Amino acid sequence: MPVLQASSRIAILGGGLMGRLLALSLARRGHAIDVYDAHGPEGDGAAARVAAAMLAPLAESAITEPGVVRMGQHGLARWPELLAQLDQPVFFQQNGTLILWHRQDAGDAQRFCGLLEKNRRINPSLPPLQHLAGEDLQTCEPALQRRFAQGVYLPDEGQLDNRQLLAALHATLARLGVGLHWGQARELGQFQPGTAGQPDWVIDCRGLGARGQWTALRGVRGEVVRIHAPEVTLQRPTRLIHPRYPIYIAPKEDHLFVIGATEIESDDMSPASVRSTLELLSAAYTVHPGFAEGRIVEVATQCRPTLPDNLPAVRWSAPRVLEVNGLYRHGFMIAPAMLDVVMQLLDGAEPQLARRFDVAIEHAQLATA
């Protein structure tokens, strides 16, 4: 495959999470970048805008593969470096994840924790789970006020503010002179990279918007509620194990909480259902009654761009056309790793990172326009 030459012209389709991050790294290397997005700079067409942006490799190890977990560990180290390149501050914390359950769900909690312990044995660089009860749980999270008898603390896990990140990336890309073309939907077939008047390279980061091109992609619908709750002082992402309504509560700055998320096999982007909203809010209220007086700021729906194996992949559509997709429910957790994988491919280097993270590098033929 060709190697990216200095001062290349690169078109990036999709200015959600992956597109903006790639644009930042490539622009900082001196390439001339144009980003085309079907929607606006706020990310209103992006899964990235609705996400909770938790960075939780050990918690997620219960439902994903070891390579994704390793990407998550890589991401926790890389995010501070990436955020330091931005012109605006972005809330980022690495204050762990707290797992809770009600007494009647202790069996489910035991199974869940057993799975995490098993994954720690596979990957001993993950931090040990800390089982907390009584006073220790109270000290870890005073806001719980002894409503839970037991919990498990996963140290080091993180989160960031997704909307601040999208805004900071937008501002920094504009300052770097990146061509930002909002409200400009594009298809891969509209580009013939390397020919006269065309960009040298095209990188497709359209998430679910690339379905027409990458037909294996599917949407996994997620509904979240944003609540402003001044009475709630939870300090870190808190997950409730529950047989019917497993939820997380991700605290952002100024008592803003993202409560999510449903996970429904559907690419239906219509507004959140009454049932989902009731379940999310009821479950959150059982964690902290202070949510009762909170104000619902937003109820949002988006679909996670997902490939059949629920794993991310990179695909060459043509010698100078690269697609990056399938970030599913782990986009923020793994985006720095995917960024580094793609930069290594563009440099024509040995794909060591793709191997380390088990990222599939696929090849497909671009249908003629």
Ligand X SMILES: Cc1cc2nc3c(=O)[nH]c(=O)nc-3n(C[C@H](O)[C@H](O)[C@H](O)COP(=O)(O)OP(=O)(O)OC[C@H]3O[C@@H](n4cnc5c(N)ncnc54)[C@H](O)[C@@H]3O)c2cc1C
Binding site for ligand X (CB under 6 A): 13-19, 36-39, 43, 45-48, 50-54, 185-186, 205-207, 209, 222, 224, 260-261, 302, 304-305, 325, 327-333
CB of 6 to ligand X, least distance (A): 26
- Residue 102: burial class (beta carbons within 10 Å; 0-12, 13-18, 19+): middle
Using omega within 30 degrees of 0 as the cis cutoff, is the peptide bond preceding 261 cis? Answer: yes
CB of 145 to ligand X, least distance (A): 26
For residue 319, what are the CA distances in angstroms to 105, 180, 345?
A: 52, 25, 12
**Which is closer to ligand X, CB of 339 or CB of 346?**
339
CB of 133 to ligand X, least distance (A): 27
**Which is closer to ligand X, CB of 222 or CB of 294?**
222
* 114-117 LR contacts (CB < 8 Å, sep 24+): 115/61, 115/62, 116/58, 116/59, 116/61, 116/62, 116/152, 116/154
CB of 172 to ligand X, least distance (A): 17
CB of 303 to ligand X, least distance (A): 6
CB of 179 to ligand X, least distance (A): 13
Alpha-helical runs (H) found in 84-198 = 106-122, 134-140, 162-175
- Residue 5: burial class (beta carbons within 10 Å; 0-12, 13-18, 19+): exposed
**Which is closer to ligand X, CB of 132 or CB of 225?**
225
Nearest to 258 by CA among 202, 313, 213, 296: 296
**Which is closer to ligand X, CB of 263 or CB of 293?**
263
CB of 29 to ligand X, least distance (A): 20
Using the 8-state DSSP alphabet, how is residue 63 labeled? Answer: T
**Which is closer to ligand X, CB of 137 or CB of 207?**
207
CB of 300 to ligand X, least distance (A): 8
Q: Name the E strands within the chain.
A: 9-13, 32-37, 54-55, 92-93, 97-101, 130-133, 150-154, 158-160, 179-182, 201-204, 218-228, 238-241, 247-251, 256-260, 295-306, 313-318, 321-325, 360-363
3-state secondary structure of 275: helix
Distance CA 136, CA 271 (A): 40
**Which is closer to ligand X, CB of 152 or CB of 272?**
272
Phi then psi for 243, rounded to 5 degrees? -65, -30
